[in-house]
Amino acid sequence: MKRFEGYGVLITGAARGIGAATARRLGAEGARVLVTDLDLDAAEKTAADLRERGLTAEAYGCDVGDRSSVEAAVAYAVDAFGSLDVLVNSAARCTPDVPLFEDGPDEVWERDLDLTLTGAYRCCRAALPHLVASGRGAIVTIGSVNGIQDFGNHAYSAAKAGLMSLTRTLAGHAAPRGVRVNLVAPGTVRTSAWEGRAAELDSVARVYPLGRVGEPEDIAAAVAFLASRDAAWITGTTLCVDGGLLAVNTAFHEAIRPLP
Ligand SMILES: NC(=O)c1ccc[n+]([C@@H]2O[C@H](COP(=O)([O-])OP(=O)(O)OC[C@H]3O[C@@H](n4cnc5c(N)ncnc54)[C@H](O)[C@@H]3O)[C@@H](O)[C@H]2O)c1
């Protein structure tokens, strides 16, 4: 029996990267997936790719920055699939570092916070009644190691830290109604977010104890676990999927003696 047979799943930012890999993984495990994204054309291509693999998927244009767009996407998923059992919040916005603390513009701070943190909140709020009705509802949000340690990108990092708090408070609120809420915090993952920066990816791989950066499928596997019944007694948690980055202080080890 596939873990998500009969499940209706909505994924934000699912046209590419981690969201798309999660759509493929949950689809392969039996889910009917609504591939939502700001970029509808790309979402259509991703959904078509899933269907070519014999999976069940539809595309829907959804901007997590817009409450009515989010509510329409949730309503569409419930209509199309008959239930909404899993929400995956993958859409986010990361503005490359600007000198925020030297007369930085409010707009950068507000936009990263709005799309990354408030966007996930909008999706959770719209999805929650349906997840309660499902009786096996689960939310998995894509956070980041940036929410835990400083890797730059101030506004984005603050938003990712906020998502961990949202995960815990919503887990408490939703647990009595049978909905689990968890977060996956990836390290560096090879996606379009790193397009044109292959040299940086190679360089950053050196600080990863497991010797490589992540692939979208590494994250999708963790999302699938947390969304599934295998994680039936897990809620409110942050699961780091980061090749050991946060656990091992590579710079410290290198300063004393290189790791073998
Ligand atoms: N790639 C990494 O190194 C990395 C590391 C840690 C965390 N993450 C997180 O993983 C998630 C996915 O990132 P990715 O690397 O796959 O990114 P990506 O750039 O490959 O894909 C992001 C998708 O989100 C969509 N999107 C952007 N704004 C949107 C909006 N307002 N509404 C709906 N969709 C929108 C884009 O169109 C795109 O398809 C994000 O939450 C990101 O912060 C990524």
Domains of the chain listed by start with CATH number: 8-256 (3.40.50.720)
Q: Is the beta carbon of 12 within 6 A of some atom in ligand 1?
A: yes
The pLDDT assigned to 99 comes to: 76
The pLDDT assigned to 203 comes to: 94
* Ligand 1 mean position, distance from CA 193 (Å): 7
The pLDDT assigned to 102 comes to: 82
Tell which one of 10, 16, 18 to mutate to probe ligand 1, the residue whose CB is within 8 A of the most ligand atoms. Answer: 18
* Ligand 1 mean position, distance from CA 189 (Å): 11
Q: Is the beta carbon of 89 within 6 A of some atom in ligand 1?
A: no
Mean pLDDT, residues 64-91: 98
Q: Is the beta carbon of 15 within 6 A of some atom in ligand 1?
A: yes
Q: Is the beta carbon of 220 within 6 A of some atom in ligand 1?
A: no
State how far Cα 203 lies from the chain centre. Answer: 24
Q: Which atom of ligand 1 is nearest to the CA of 69?
A: 32
Angle of CA points 217, 213, 124, to nearest 5°: 50
pLDDT band at 259 (very low <50, low <70, confident <90, very high): low
Q: Is the beta carbon of 91 within 6 A of some atom in ligand 1?
A: yes
Distance CA 222, CA 52 (A): 24
Distance CA 141, CA 126 (A): 15
pLDDT at position 38 over 90 = yes
Burial class (CB in 10 A: 0-12, 13-18, 19+), 218: buried
* Ligand 1 mean position, distance from CA 258 (Å): 34
Q: Which atom of ligand 1 is nearest to the CA of 116?
A: 41
Check: CB of residue 50 under 8 Å from CB of residue 57. Answer: yes
Q: Is the beta carbon of 197 within 6 A of some atom in ligand 1?
A: no
The pLDDT assigned to 167 comes to: 99
| pLDDT per position as a tens digit, 45-57 | 999 999 999 999 9
Check: CB of residue 104 under 8 Å from CB of residue 97. Answer: no
Q: Is the beta carbon of 90 within 6 A of some atom in ligand 1?
A: yes
The pLDDT assigned to 118 comes to: 98
Compute CA distances 162 → 82, 96, 141, 146, 247, whole Å.
Answer: 32, 19, 11, 11, 21
- Residue 29 has which token pair? 């495990």
| pLDDT per position as a tens digit, 123-150 | 999 999 999 999 999 999 999 999 999 9
The pLDDT assigned to 165 comes to: 98
Q: Is the pTM above the cut of 0.85?
A: yes
Active site residues: 156, 160
* Ligand 1 mean position, distance from CA 1 (Å): 31
Q: Whose CA is nearest to atom 43 of ligand 1?
A: 92
The pLDDT assigned to 105 comes to: 83
